[in-house]
Chain A
Amino acid sequence: MKAPNYIKVDPPEGYTSPGIFATSFDKVVGLARKNSIWPLPFATSCCGIEFMATMGAHYDLGRFGAERLSFSPRQADLLMVMGTIAKKMAPVVQQVYIQMAEPRWVIAVGACAASGGIFDTYSVLQGIDRIVPVDVYVPGCPPRPEQIIDGFIKVQELVGKESLRRRYSKEYKDLLESYGIK
């Protein structure tokens, strides 16, 4: 018999009864959020092309809930920075991040977004973590679609386990202060 082409998502721990499932609120919210992340593809160079392949039917990022891309930061959950960011572009990336509503995550795809990559030069920003807080780094030049999906799954794990109060905590506020974001 052929293996099923779906994976059943395990429910979080909780108490079951006919018609009732009781669990903690942040587990349910985490489960809902992680399986419906709306990414903002900030695709600048070659990694953007790999992302286009990832969104295509063969590698299909839509399987993980990221079917609806948003180019408006107001409606996006995950900022995917894919490609070389020049120093002139850096304030733009920061503005896009500021315009995103909480909760928001950032994934740096590729060597250029993570550290400036091969472009050790006067015009390239040596890593977007100089301007925005980054949650997941995907190494590669460019990373294969499988790697981008792996990074996305790591973001899903972070989203599923995040406490609902994290964005109001002092540590998070201090983190944003350190980037100059109010």
Chain B
Amino acid sequence: MDNDFITGKLKTRFIDDILLVDESSDMLTVVVPGKVIHEVIRFLKENESLGFTFLTTLCGIHYPDQELQLGVVYHLHCFSSNTHIRIKTFLPLENPLISTISDLFSAANWMERETYDFFGIIFEGHPNLKRILNVEYLDYFPMRKEYPLEDPTREDKDDSFFGR
């Protein structure tokens, strides 16, 4: 299955929603808007000629210099033709809502909780969206690039150990 075939199928089905197709890296990368992500991934999974039935990973990213700062990156894999594909969506920082794909892939359940824990991206329709790796009382999203490298708001650091 080559990139043109996949891109062709996607563009036929989602005419305006394929914002960017990038073939420069090791796998085909497609950027779609956040509101159609569930349809796009469902199409890639259930279409017989495509058959991307394995969600390799799902994670978030924060680019503070972009207009839509928070991103979610999905990696899908087709076992029968050994093809990878990367799907990216970008969400605004003030309202990072996106549909969950845990009804399509059970693995997405854990990974969406982790993305929420570190970036604050809200997955609508997720059965149990709460913090998974950090402590429950943590009141910020650690992987966002809003803090300087040394966080000055932390209360638990002991400056005497660091010679300050």
Residue contact B157 to A126, C-beta cutoff 8 Å: yes
Chain B residues positioned under 8 Å from A122 (CB to CB): 134, 138, 142, 151, 154
Residue contact B135 to A120, C-beta cutoff 8 Å: no
Chain A residues positioned under 8 Å from B154 (CB to CB): 122
Docked complex Cα distance between A130 and B156 (Å):
9
Q: Which residue of A lies closest to B140 (CB)?
A: A122
Q: A123 contacts which of B134, B150, B157, B161 (Cβ < 8 Å)? A: B134
Interface size on B, residues (CB 8 A): 13
Complex interface residues of chain A between 35 and 59 (CB less than 8 A to chain B): none
Known: A87-B135, A122-B154, A126-B156. A115 touches B161 (CB 8 A): yes
Q: Which of A120, A126, A130 has the most CB of B within 10 A?
A: A120
Q: Tell me, yes or no, whether A165 is within 8 Å of chain B by CB.
A: no
Q: Mark A81-96, 1 if CB is under 8 A from B, else 0.
A: 0000001100000000
Complex interface residues of chain B between 53 and 70 (CB less than 8 A to chain A): none
A151 to chain B, nearest CB (A): 19
B114 to chain A, nearest CB (A): 13
Chain A residues positioned under 8 Å from B138 (CB to CB): 122
Q: Mark A105-146, 1 if CB is under 8 A from B, else 0.
A: 000000000010000101101110010000000000000000
Q: Tell me, yes or no, whether B158 is within 8 Å of chain A by CB.
A: yes
Q: Which residue of A lies closest to B147 (CB)?
A: A122
A124 to chain B, nearest CB (A): 9
Chain A residues positioned under 8 Å from B161 (CB to CB): 115
Residue contact A126 to B158, C-beta cutoff 8 Å: yes
Residue contact B157 to A120, C-beta cutoff 8 Å: yes
Chain A residues positioned under 8 Å from B162 (CB to CB): 120
Q: Which residue of A lies closest to B136 (CB)?
A: A88
Docked complex Cα distance between A95 and B6 (Å):
55
Chain B residues positioned under 8 Å from A125 (CB to CB): 156
25 A-B pairs in the complex with CB atoms less than 8 angstroms apart: A87-B134, A87-B135, A88-B133, A88-B134, A88-B135, A115-B158, A115-B161, A120-B150, A120-B157, A120-B162, A122-B134, A122-B138, A122-B142, A122-B151, A122-B154, A123-B133, A123-B134, A123-B135, A123-B142, A125-B156, A126-B156, A126-B157, A126-B158, A127-B158, A130-B156
Binding site for A on B (CB under 8 A): 133-135, 138, 142, 150-151, 154, 156-158, 161-162
Ranked nearest first, the 9 interchain pairs of A and B with the lowest CB-CB distance are A87-B135, A122-B142, A88-B135, A126-B156, A115-B161, A126-B158, A123-B134, A126-B157, A120-B157
Binding site for B on A (CB under 8 A): 87-88, 115, 120, 122-123, 125-127, 130
